């Protein structure tokens, strides 16, 4: 083969090598076609902090890689910390469960739960703690317990920078990946640094409350952190007023109301690489996100160091073209949620800072209605049971509305009503749900009993019962006759034979409408003995409408003759109209003797005295 042909072959083989493009780190394009764009590509290295190589953190074992040695090698956490297991946090040399509540140690040697963003950014170890409105965990260390001692000097400015991420964790760290999504905790965590002066404090400190409420512990500074799976680097710059020997990291005392159990999980935070130095030894670009996507006021704001140039914003590591100012208007650009990063050039290096903006996802309205059906007027309790609701509004389907999370509404007109609940969550996102035919209101239902005959007598105890006088859309009847056979009936008009024994017999009727409304009524059937006449022993003819005439008690129409005599045996009155009785108008007050002779030959003659008192 001649030399020219060999040269062409060599050039042809080299063409693919020379054709591979280099990644450009700020154009939003996968230039080298490796599937990674801009800051996501290892060809675009950028640091979250610029710290001189000879500067060490004042915090010993700041990345939690040094493990306590045991007889079988380095201590390795292998499960969830509980009241019956050792405090695995002590596996990280120099670190302690800071208070009574158990914080945790994670390491790829043995403990890395599902749904947690592990391994951490620096090495294999990380610390973690729950942060709930009613339950707070902390991690702590002594700055002077290990040589060389590094107390913080009063009047000197310091910076603590660290990696932090969040998850939703249940009580045993056994949540699924979906359950671990921390976006349900949509408000920001005030992460705080607390200090104790002039002494190494024995850990744990005996409190379940915020460490800032314990005498001697003072908050030195804080930073707001958006709960997110994304590891972001945040910083706190502060100047202690006393020499500080012990420090604790965790939640500030006051927390957002949403930091409570959400669907079985609580807000849980992971931290790594705690660089505590003199403030001038760290160069950082703090980035914060403010506002919300749903309220259309979302911003990302960066504070790069003086002298930084060539600013460029990124969303999820991909350049947002043309955005080079220190404030990125997320809403105006309709970018939505994501990890927002500002990268700059500082002293020839790429320096970046990042913060998460939660996406504008619609809330999920949930409600309860109790009762959902009944008769007018129907009083219904409506409750918004959604999570993270900032405001609630209702339409009840009858022209009325409400604006509280719990509403008590009365329907006065029969009908079927649609109900709508509209909720706005703490991110300003709005959603509604319509429940068709949510409330069914039946017309008024009134039960009444008609009995023929009533009263009746021992010679005629067959009574026809029905619900004449009832009103409403009645579809079923239920009768209760007590001890009288047949005991119960579901006929609309039952015929019942009552005992041929004088007395009163209770009857109950329950009726139901097509809307499911129920009403009950009670009555009595009176059975009398017509041959029995009973007389009172006093009456008062004073025209007051009560006991004005002397007539038989519970008179049932038994015929007979009534005669009245004074105390000298003189007859002063007689009548066969027993139902009219005697008015006593023709005689003075006093005691009189009466004789009632029934026409029934088998009935007893009644005699006795009656007192007339006006």
Enumerate the domain spans of the chain. Answer: 3-31, 49-276, 367-442, 450-528, 538-612
The three-state secondary structure class of 285 is coil
The CATH classification of domain 49-276, taken from the options 2.60.120.260, 3.40.50.300, 2.60.40.420, 3.40.50.150? 2.60.120.260
> Which residues are registered as beta bridge partners of 144?
none
The three-state secondary structure class of 118 is coil
pLDDT of amino acid 547: 86
Q: Which residues of 571-586 are buried (b: 16+ CB within 10 A; e: fewer)?
A: eebeeeebeebbbbee
Superfamily name and number for 367-442: Immunoglobulins (2.60.40.10)
| Burial class of residue 120 in the structure, from the number of CB atoms within 10 Å of its CB (0-12 exposed, 13-18 middle, 19+ buried) | buried
- Helix or strand holding residue 258 (H, E): none
pLDDT of amino acid 442: 85
CATH class of 450-528: mainly beta
pLDDT of amino acid 16: 44
Q: Which residues of 309-341 are buried (b: 16+ CB within 10 A; e: fewer)?
A: eebbbbbbbbbbeebeebebebbeeebebbbbb
pLDDT of amino acid 7: 29
Judge whether 342 and 304 are in contact, CB under 8 Å.
yes
- Helix or strand holding residue 368 (H, E): strand 367-370
- Helix or strand holding residue 287 (H, E): strand 287-290
Query: What is the number of other CB atoms lying within 10 angstroms of the CB of residue 278?
Result: 14
* The model's pTM: 0.69
> Which distant-in-sequence residues (6+ apart) come within 8 Å of 11 by Cβ?
none
Q: How many CA atoms lie within 13 A of 57 on its CB side?
A: 18
Q: How far is CA 66 from CA 126, 135, 146, 596, in A?
A: 11, 29, 13, 116
Comparing CA positions, the residue from 280, 293, 205, 208 lying closest to residue 49 is 280
Cα–chain-centroid distance for residue 323? Answer: 41
- The CATH T-level fold of domain 538-612 is Immunoglobulin-like (2.60.40)
Comparing CA positions, the residue from 270, 258, 268, 267 lying closest to residue 232 is 270
| Regions in the chain scoring below 50 on pLDDT | 1-19
Please count the helices (runs of H) and the strands (runs of E) in the chain. Answer: 1, 43
pLDDT of amino acid 164: 98
> Which distant-in-sequence residues (6+ apart) come within 8 Å of 428 by Cβ?
292, 294, 295, 390
Tokens for 178, please give them: 């979906």
Judge whether 339 and 285 are in contact, CB under 8 Å.
no
Judge whether 81 and 87 are in contact, CB under 8 Å.
yes
Model confidence pLDDT, tens digit, residues 378-391? 999 999 998 778 89
CA distance 546 to 548: 5
Q: How many CA atoms lie within 13 A of 80 on its CB side?
A: 12
Query: How many residues are given for the chain?
Result: 614
**Is it true that 450-528 and 538-612 share their CATH fold?**
yes
CA distance 394 to 405: 9
CA distance 457 to 556: 9
Model confidence pLDDT, tens digit, residues 558-587? 788 999 999 888 999 999 988 889 999 899
The CA-based angle 120-178-337, given to 5 degrees, is 75
DSSP 13: H
């Amino acid at each position: 083969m001649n030399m020219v042909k060999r040269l062409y072959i060599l050039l042809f083989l080299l063409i693919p090598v020379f054709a591979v493009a280099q990644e450009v780190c700020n154009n939003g394009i996968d230039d080298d076609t490796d599937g990674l764009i801009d800051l996501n590509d290892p060809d675009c290295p950028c640091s979250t902090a610029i710290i001189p190589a000879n500067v060490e953190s004042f915090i010993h074992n700041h990345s939690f890689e040094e493990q306590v040695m045991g007889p079988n090698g380095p201590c390795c956490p292998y499960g969830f910390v509980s009241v019956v297991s050792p405090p695995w946090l002590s596996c990280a040399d120099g670190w302690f469960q800071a208070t009574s509540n158990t914080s945790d140690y994670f390491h790829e040697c043995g403990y890395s739960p599902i749904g947690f963003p592990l391994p951490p950014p620096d090495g294999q170890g990380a610390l973690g703690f729950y942060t709930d409105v009613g339950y707070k965990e902390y991690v702590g260390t002594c700055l002077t317990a290990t040589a060389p001692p590094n107390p913080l000097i009063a009047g000197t400015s310091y910076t603590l920078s660290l990696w932090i991420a969040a998850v939703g964790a249940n009580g045993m760290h056994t949540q699924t990946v979906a359950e671990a999504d921390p976006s349900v905790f949509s408000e920001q965590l005030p992460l705080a640094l607390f200090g104790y002066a002039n002494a190494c404090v024995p850990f744990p400190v005996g409190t379940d409350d915020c460490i800032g409420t314990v005498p001697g512990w003072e908050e030195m500074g804080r930073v707001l952190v958006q709960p997110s799976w994304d590891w972001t680097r945040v910083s706190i710059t502060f100047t202690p007023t006393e020499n500080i020997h012990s420090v604790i990291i965790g939640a500030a005392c006051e927390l957002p109301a949403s930091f409570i159990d959400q669907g079985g999980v609580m807000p849980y935070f992971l931290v790594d690489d705690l660089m505590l130095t003199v403030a001038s030894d760290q160069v950082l670009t703090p980035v914060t996100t403010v506002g919300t996507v749903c309220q259309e006021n979302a911003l990302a704001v960066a504070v790069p160091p003086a002298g930084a140039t060539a600013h460029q914003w990124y969303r999820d590591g991909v350049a947002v073209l043309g955005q080079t100012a220190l404030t990125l208007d997320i809403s105006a650009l309709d970018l939505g949620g994501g990890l927002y990063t500002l990268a700059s050039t500082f002293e020839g290096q790429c320096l970046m800072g990042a913060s998460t903006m939660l996406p504008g996802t619609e809330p999920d309205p949930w409600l309860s209605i109790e009762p959902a059906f009944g008769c007018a007027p129907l009083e219904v309790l409506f409750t918004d049971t959604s999570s993270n609701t900032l405001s609630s509004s209702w339409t009840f389907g009858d022209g009325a509305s409400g604006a509280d999370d719990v509403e008590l509404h009365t329907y006065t007109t029969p009908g079927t009503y649609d109900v709508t609940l509209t909720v706005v969550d703490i991110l300003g996102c709005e959603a509604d749900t319509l429940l068709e035919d949510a409330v069914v209101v039946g017309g008024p239902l009134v039960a009444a009993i008609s009995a023929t005959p009533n009263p009746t007598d021992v010679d005629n105890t067959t009574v026809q019962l029905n619900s004449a006088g009832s009103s409403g859309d009645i579809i079923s009847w239920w009768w209760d006759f007590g001890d009288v056979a047949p005991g119960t009936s579901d006929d609309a008009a039952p015929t019942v034979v009552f005992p041929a024994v004088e007395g009163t017999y209770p009857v109950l009727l329950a009726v139901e409408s097509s809307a499911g409304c129920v009403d009950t009524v009670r009555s009595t059937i009176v059975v009398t003995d017509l041959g029995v006449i009973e007389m009172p022993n006093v009456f008062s003819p004073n025209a007051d409408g009560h006991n004005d005439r002397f007539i038989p008690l519970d008179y049932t129409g038994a015929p007979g003759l009534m005669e009245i005599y004074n105390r000298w045996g003189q007859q002063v009155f007689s009548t066969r109209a027993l139902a009219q009785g005697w008015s006593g108008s023709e005689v003075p007050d006093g005691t009189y003797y009466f004789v009632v002779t029934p026409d029934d030959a088998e009935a007893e003659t009644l005699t006795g005295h009656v007192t007339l008192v006006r």
